[in-house]
Chains A and B, each alone.
Chain A
């Protein structure tokens, strides 16, 4: 009989005789190495001289968890996109599985059952970095369907590109009948210290609120004390690994969730009667990071074939003067160019320095305090749903809270 991972085996080697469960090969393991999980729980790598089957591994039956519908609780939709937020670990093999069904989700966080009736579904299963604009459109359509059947939508999402998705959904929904809450985890949910539990419970709480916006709900601090509710067009992942990586930039968060308590700091858009979806996107938009050494050739090749470009300029919104001619030609040929800052914090101003004034003169649009990635998504959406002139007019206008007229010293 063939020996496969999961089988209990006896291995003879130069280092002795070992018994344990044969584990799947590790991608970084040595060539001749096999991995055994010993009875004491440890995995070891050894070079086998011979392997003897002791007992075939058993196929495990999944335990079904009954989900009870409770009349008095609101219904919340949870749309899985493939983040590790709702995953659980197989302690036999050590593999981490995403929770693929409502039962599995409830099983991994049993308290959810007390808070809402969950309509869970998996739309796709991609890593955050593998997200693409067409997925945003598919997701938006799914959200619209779900909002017809539930009071709010929670979207567990990988954290890397979560703010792009939140911006895309923000623009795609001029009106929402309920909250759309993106949520993620910086520590995967197979760990006792995972932030997934608190974040997801907070997201469910936000999804039950009166909000009619797309938001991101994540840890506010490194402590497990409360979550911030960030507007979908204002939020950015500002740290590679911390729990409180998500910050509202150039704006205060919308509010906070502490246990079952939800507080909104300021005004927010409430639920609409209907949900309106404008889901087209123009893919011919580019996002360019300016740096000393970006020459005309490289720059023009990036603009080639594009209908629009968002530039992450230096400081108040600058690129080197050597690129002004290229930009002028691009705009003259019908391209839209929006200027944002790689500083992220603060507002663009093209009036202060002569370079800024030259850029303004050739038709570069200063995008106030909008985040570069948000401007990029916004321009794709504008060009997908409006004609060029309208798009150019709407780009620097505040549509979904992505631009503010005031920035405070205390933010």
Chain B
């Protein structure tokens, strides 16, 4: 059974959560310093899985200080008291989600040692529980709402260091988690859109790229995967549905492997000598740099690594790519990449592989290969069971890629530097009276601006209602604006399009095409420039008519289609096709009528 849950992180437009710095991004770097983080052990000697993986990387963290970061972000001064304005906004959001606000709020430290928090932990507080949201798919539970601090912004990363900027660290974030009860990507998108609306309705959330982030949890019944940073609403169905397919594939692979009694050997073999005279450029380069080619046996794995839909090899490669290891090859894909059949034969003989067995080889510096192959061994073992718990990153093509294991149960302990905050019933009652309009009330506002209900809903659902209001107030034309927003996509410069439109640079009919082309990546300026070039459409049409008079006489109005093709050859990109079509048709009619007289 498919179960999806959503976690939404929204930045608030207040000062930072634990100091008096502005919540903005900045490109002004004033100073740099360098730190190391250690996984702290619990008393029982347990180290967090994710923490361990990070520390394996032996990395230094470099922090860039910006004007909007102080000693608090540098972990050189204890946090100030929790920002009360951001708390109030978070509480209002909780009330809008029908949640119960806790009597007293305790700030916790959640251990995070990837360097994104200078302290090595993220400060976070659970502020409300047991909320819910009505959707067209039914009611979705909102078990927890938290207020926490944003992490530092990753600027650069290589094998031994990560550079973070402190501008983003400490910006207040509201974290809203739903129950894992959604069944499809479409449902997840609707919930995300509805929550997004509630957040914006407070008018106190930050807007723009990266200010809201969605993490999606997906499980088909075994294992749990988190897609981190699935921020584009319209991509959510793709990411979710592809991930469901990937998990089904892993389940199928596990069944095949279990039937075959497949297993993974721990032993690592040195196969460097096999490649002494290799033609493979990648392997040659590896050897030149002093690298080694080591391999492992995957007993019973033949045909699941890369075979039709079965793609376990890709999973293995992704697991080592995060260590900076790129040269992984497996039995299902070889011979290829310059590795010859003879070399593959030698590997098979050396590893004494049977017909159902396969192998993985990696070329790199020996120490690195051993770490990488250990990861491959671990990952391959998990394939025997099914879907491993992991964190994945969304990609533009709708797929996802392995990032790291899912963090174990959050290691949290109290933030002793911040006193608990009592929330009284009187305060909650006061906040209830100040809540912003709910979607239905918002709809009425939009309708009053001159569009119909259906379009109004669509704008609210797509999270475009604020943009609509802004454009309408500035330029008028509510129906034109609404149509452009609904047909368009996120992230294009609507403001500029409508500014040019209001300056009369192109006709209303051109907007559809301009928006479409902007969505395909063309710059608004360029499109509009072409549209505004002075072209005498009538002259172009007249020329075509003269040239093709025979055709017109012969076929009458049936000549429209070929003539239109010719006209568009000359006018495409400069004039909206509909205008051309209108004029051409009119002219053609005139001529045909004349002829028939």
Contacts and interface: CB of A to CB of B under 8 A. Distances in A.
A1 B102 CA distance: 28
A123 interface: no
A197 interface: yes
B71 A60 contact: no
Contacts of B129: 15-16, 18, 44
Contacts of A26: 106, 414, 419-420
B413 A63 contact: no
A47 B109 CA distance: 23
Nearest to B61: A224
Nearest to A35: B106
B40 A45 contact: no
Contact of A15 (B44, B100, B120): B100
Given A26-B106, A191-B121, A192-B38, A45 B420 contact: yes
B118 A222 contact: no
A49 to B, nearest CB: 12
B409 interface: yes
Interface string A31-65: 00101001011111111000000000000101100
Interface string A173-211: 000000000000011011111100110000000000000
Interface string A5-19: 000000001011010
A67 interface: no
B77 A16 contact: no
Contact of A187 (B36, B75, B422): B75
Given A94-B414, A242-B71, A243-B76, A46 B39 contact: no
B411 A41 contact: yes
Nearest to B422: A30
A41 B416 CA distance: 15
B43 interface: yes
A28 to B, nearest CB: 4
- By size class, the interface of chain B is 35 or more
A192 B111 CA distance: 8
A225 interface: yes
Interface in A117-153: none
B45 interface: yes
A89 interface: yes
B362 interface: no
B104 interface: yes
B106 A44 contact: yes
A63 B45 CA distance: 8
A221 B33 contact: yes
A89 B126 contact: no
Interface string B389-421: 000000000000000000001111110100110
A15 B423 CA distance: 12
Given A13-B103, A192-B37, A41 B120 contact: no
Contacts of B45: 63, 107
B219 interface: no
Contacts of B75: 187, 193
A225 B34 contact: yes
B104 A46 contact: yes
B105 interface: yes
Given A63-B44, A192-B39, A241 B411 contact: no
Contacts of A96: 416
B446 interface: no
Contact of A45 (B43, B104, B413): B104
A189 B414 CA distance: 15
Interface string A385-397: 0000000000000
B42 interface: yes
B104 A29 contact: yes
B413 A91 contact: yes
Given A88-B43, A223-B34, A15 B102 contact: yes
Contacts of A94: 413-414, 416
Contacts of A187: 75, 119
Nearest to A188: B416
Nearest to B125: A42
Contacts of B106: 26, 35, 42-45
A266 B38 CA distance: 33
Nearest to A18: B129
Interface in A161-182: none
Contacts of B77: 240-242
Contacts of B411: 41, 91
A90 interface: yes
B76 A222 contact: yes
B520 to A, nearest CB: 44
A8 to B, nearest CB: 15
The winner among B38, B119, B129 for most chain A CB atoms within 10 A is B38
Contacts of A88: 40-41, 43
Nearest to A108: B41
Contacts of A243: 76
Interface string A80-108: 00000000111100101000000000011
Nearest to A45: B104
B108 A47 contact: no
A193 B420 contact: no
Given A192-B119, A192-B121, A193-B118, A41 B412 contact: yes
Given A33-B104, A90-B43, A41 B110 contact: yes
Nearest to B146: A42
Nearest to A241: B77
Given A29-B104, A30-B422, A60-B43, A192 B120 contact: yes
B78 A222 contact: no
A91 B43 contact: yes
Contacts of A89: 40, 42, 413
B130 A16 contact: yes
Nearest to B42: A91
A30 B419 CA distance: 11
Contacts of B86: none
A44 B113 contact: no
Interface in B167-182: none
B108 to A, nearest CB: 6
Contacts of B38: 192, 194, 197
Interface string A218-236: 0001111100000000000
B413 A47 contact: no
A44 B124 CA distance: 12
B233 interface: no
A197 B119 CA distance: 14
A242 B76 contact: yes
Nearest to A190: B40
Contact of A47 (B43, B74, B103): B103
B496 interface: no
Max chain A Cβ within 10 angstroms of own Cβ: one of B33, B34, B35, B74: B35
Interface in B136-165: 144, 146
Contacts of A28: 419-420
Nearest to A109: B38
Task: Pick from A18, A41, A90 the residue with the most CB of B within 10 Å.
Answer: A41
Contacts of A194: 38, 40
Interface of A: 13, 15-16, 18, 26, 28-30, 33, 35, 38, 40-47, 60, 62-63, 88-91, 94, 96, 107-108, 186-187, 189-194, 197-198, 221-225, 240-243
Given A15-B129, A40-B126, 6 more contacts: A42-B124, A43-B126, A46-B102, A60-B44, A107-B41, A225-B34
15 contacts: A15-B129, A16-B129, A29-B104, A30-B103, A35-B106, A40-B409, A40-B410, A44-B102, A45-B103, A45-B105, A46-B103, A192-B113, A197-B38, A221-B33, A241-B76
